[in-house]
Amino acid sequence: MFRTDINHWLQQWDHSFVYWFFEGVSALGTALVLIVLLYSIMIGVDLKKGFGIANMFFYVILLTLLFKSVVDYPRPMAVDTTLNGFGRKANTENLTKLQPEGYFDTFSEPLLQKIRNQKAAREGFPSGHTSLITAIMFGLALIFRRRWLSVLSATIIVLMMFSRMYLARHYLGDVLGGLVVGLLFTYLVYIIWQRIFSNPKNSNATAYFMLSPLVLVPLYTWFPAFPAGTFIGLNLGYLAIQRIWGNPVYSPQTGLRIASVAVFAFIAFLSTYINRRLGFPEYGLVSLLLYIVFSMISFLSAAFVCVQAKWWEFE
């Protein structure tokens, strides 16, 4: 699973159309697209269900980042210089002779040391694009229970796996690892979410569920501050909306829903831009707390705009 045979097999079909198709598929797993998709579900469709999917997404992304850091496996282009990296800088030394020989073998220590010493493309396992698109698409299929959505989700997930291997960003083992992480932890969060939100009167359980990411605070050295802080801040924002205004009922007018999504996305990206410009450290308690505050304030600010514009009503 950690040999480049399948990457070479996929790249034998190389063509400009194939490249742009798989490049487009991979773009679906980028932060910009996924954040817009999340806000479209949360603000354009259903806040409660959207936040269920958002929690699945953030737990998966944090665990993916943790596994990447701990495992620290190389990417195919860092080992096999004969692969087409499609503009991505690869290793200058061909290390294919040090690849695992058996299908289920893992990387040898000599190969890992060479890659890490040269600072070549690393942290390939598990595939983040695969795990994150799996979290959102599988979450959508679980919560909304539409047959067409299940078929679409499975198709996009499989295409994402092939795109990452074709572009030489991941081994077969990487994308399978991303698939397992995405499916397993999305389903675990879904089970908890379903039991809690199936009883709307159980407000305490809802609060506990939304506050559970606070366990990340004492683990600030394990997880990057930005995704962890954003996760906690969004959940706190959700609870604040429920306490201040109640559960929102979105306008039946599609245009107003699109406007609401645009407001939330714009304020979220503006907040993110400011955070990045301030240059907070990637890890650290202060960074985490600041991201929590920024995330919560930006979410509540967008909600305030929608309330004042009378785009939202409340139960």
pLDDT tops 80 at residue 118: no
Give the model's confidence band at 90: pLDDT under 50 very low, under 70 low, under 90 confident, else very high. low
| Domain extent for 160 | 5-314
Write down the pLDDT at residue 37: 94
pLDDT tops 80 at residue 3: yes
Provide the token pair at 19.
């490249």
pLDDT tops 70 at residue 287: yes
Give the model's confidence band at 86: pLDDT under 50 very low, under 70 low, under 90 confident, else very high. confident
Mean pLDDT, rounded, for 175-196 = 96
Mean pLDDT value across the chain: 92
Note the pLDDT tens digit of each residue in 143-154: 999 999 999 999
pLDDT tops 70 at residue 42: yes
pLDDT tops 90 at residue 67: yes
Write down the pLDDT at residue 85: 84
Within 13 Å and on the Cβ side, how many CA atoms surround 296? Answer: 19
pLDDT tops 90 at residue 136: yes
Note the pLDDT tens digit of each residue in 222-243: 999 999 999 999 999 999 999 9
- Asked whether the beta carbons of 73 and 230 are under 8 A apart, the reply is no
Burial class (CB in 10 A: 0-12, 13-18, 19+), 305: middle
Give the model's confidence band at 98: pLDDT under 50 very low, under 70 low, under 90 confident, else very high. confident
Number of domains in the chain: 1
Note the residue count of the chain.
315
Instruction: Look at residues 252, 271, 210 and name the one whose alpha carbon lies nearest to residue 48.
Output: 210
Write down the pLDDT at residue 83: 92
Of 119-123, 205-209, 248-252, the least confident: 119-123
Write down the pLDDT at residue 306: 95
pLDDT tops 70 at residue 120: no
Please tell me the distance from the alpha carbon of residue 8 to that of residue 165, in angstroms, as a whole number.
9
Provide the token pair at 121.
């493309």
Write down the pLDDT at residue 40: 95
Beta bridge partners of residue 249, listed in sequence order: 313
- Asked whether the beta carbons of 295 and 232 are under 8 A apart, the reply is yes
Write down the pLDDT at residue 44: 94
Give the model's confidence band at 123: pLDDT under 50 very low, under 70 low, under 90 confident, else very high. confident
Question: What is the DSSP-derived secondary structure letter of residue 75?
Answer: P
Burial class (CB in 10 A: 0-12, 13-18, 19+), 87: exposed
